[in-house]
Chains A and B, each alone.
Chain A
Amino acid sequence: MRFRGRVWKLGDDVNTDLIISGRYKYDITDMKELSKHAFEDVRPELPSLVKPGDIIVAGRNFGCGSSREHAPRVIKALGVSVVVAESFARIFYRNAVNIGLPVVECRNITGFVEEGDIVSVDLEKGVIENETRGGLLRVRPMPRFILDILREGGIVNYVKRRGGLEVG
């Protein structure tokens, strides 16, 4: 799986309330509608600027906090192709994989790209390339099991197609 897009950059500890506030998640059940409020308390202009295929780059501990699956879902609904962060909170990471939003952990990413850069990300090879500034970063390639879930578009399709959850 390979993605190429324009970068939007966020800081450290972007928690699930900042990704999508709890005050909306019960009243708006349509993800496209809900995604209009994504990042409202940190970068309210983002939903109107993000174009399909764009890439979010963030600092440490992205997605910390609640287990709300709305967080990766609204990011996916915005059309973001992949989130690359220095580190992820574990529940967010699982949720993203399970709903089919690619997430890549890359320790040095925030120093490697600026907002607006064009970046490509290859999940199988574990390579991130900054096409605007030049340069290449290597990350650990994704485990096969996670790539398989992402290829199916999420764990629901994955278990439906395989009739269950068999790991390793």
Chain B
Amino acid sequence: MFDPSRVVLVIDHTGPSPSRSISNIHRKMREYARRWGCHFKDVGYGICHQILFEEFVEPWTVVVGADSHTCTHGALGAFATGMGSTDVAVAMAYGRTWLRVPESVRIELSGGLTWPVMSKDVILQVIGELGASGATYMALEFTGDGVENMTVSSRLTMTNMAIEAGGKTGLCPLDDRALSLLEELRGKRYKPLTPDPDAEYADELHVDLSEVEPMVAAPHEVDNVKPIEEVEGVEVDQVFIGSCTNGRVEDLEAAARILKGRRVADGVRMIVQPASRRVLREAVRRGLVETFLRAGAVVNPPGCGPCVGRHLGVLADGEVCISTQNRNFRGRMGNPNAEIYLASPATAAASALTGCITDPRGFVE
């Protein structure tokens, strides 16, 4: 291993283990990490992308990860991209990899979002316009005052889903807000990172954030995006709030804001899963977990959970789930005979209350 201090192993998929064979894979990871002395985070610590955000990623570096949503870290000014395990193994061994410099698609965001519209709605709209392969091999570069108006957490939701348009990475400028948060997390002030004024783009897209509506990706492709009016009323059996896309404090807070003082509809299972232990502790501190439990939700231990389709919320035949995750492929939540709709935490929470896909704007004071 070229430098164990720069290698992080995380057990986030299917932890704690639901089966013997998975337990054996987990054991292998523990033994491997001990042998090589690299960083290791065991079950319940959180999702790798969230942990890398909280503790590890530095701007101006290259991050490679054996999970497609590694592109998340572009919101922190890193060039981050997902690869397969052999690819990552080569990088772990030699500290080197090969990359083709990607072209960029510029996503110019202007204005600000109006609650309960969230950055998830923005990225769903963008993917709907670009298509599932619209940005294959390219970087999605988010620019404009609309990005500056967003929290870093909201930005991470957008860069997380760059891959769903085929993108190699998603990028946001390192502005004062991002630099201050990174200083708080890492104790260091990094250099700002902004697009070159003469940068050339393969494609450009403009989104006025004040006009974005709640959006939903219908089964079974992420680019099958529709404004909420077109899917309102579809009955749901399960609601999932969590994942590396929308499992941060801001997301849980948005859901709790809709749920507070109300109860999940009869016959609906609502599952909330914080993206990390740090998120869970903060959610407890702010009383969000109390709100979820009172509303009748299940709170899973931090990790990827049902988004991987192996445990903690596998769907039954014919069931429908609305989820804040990033992928709705057939079979994704463990059953090819089930349907998955993707939405923001606000939309998912509103849907949990009514038992069918619901516009969260109806729950705003």
Contact = CB atoms under 8 A, between A and B. Distances in A.
Given A41-B336, A165-B94, A165-B97, A17 B83 contact: no
A60 B98 CA distance: 24
A154 B21 contact: no
B330 interface: yes
Question: What bracket does the count of chain B residues touching chain A fall in?
Answer: 35 or more
Interface stretch (B72-80, B84-92, B210-218, B274-282): B84-92
B166 A89 contact: yes
Given A18-B330, A27-B19, A164-B96, A159 B136 contact: no
Contacts of B221: 13
Contacts of B310: 22-23, 26
A61 B329 contact: no
Nearest to B13: A26
A95 B87 contact: yes
A85 B357 CA distance: 37
Contacts of A155: 86-87, 90
B22 interface: yes
Contacts, number: 116
B137 interface: yes
A90 B332 contact: no
B62 interface: no
Contacts of B97: 165
B74 to A, nearest CB: 15
Nearest to B138: A90
Interface stretch (A2-10, A62-70, A108-116, A125-133): A62-70
B299 interface: no
Interface in B97-140: 97-98, 132-133, 136-137
Interface in A83-125: 87, 89-91, 94-95, 98-99
A25 B85 CA distance: 14
B308 interface: yes
26 contacts: A13-B132, A18-B331, A22-B308, A23-B310, A23-B314, A26-B13, A26-B22, A26-B310, A29-B21, A41-B331, A65-B68, A67-B67, A69-B84, A72-B84, A87-B136, A89-B136, A90-B166, A94-B83, A98-B86, A98-B87, A155-B90, A156-B86, A159-B90, A159-B93, A165-B94, A167-B98
Interface of A: 13, 15, 17-18, 21-23, 26-29, 40-41, 60-61, 64-69, 72, 87, 89-91, 94-95, 98-99, 145, 154-156, 159, 164-165, 167
Interface of B: 13-14, 19, 21-22, 25, 66-68, 70, 82-87, 89-90, 93-94, 96-98, 132-133, 136-137, 163, 166, 168, 221, 308-310, 314, 327, 329-332, 334, 336
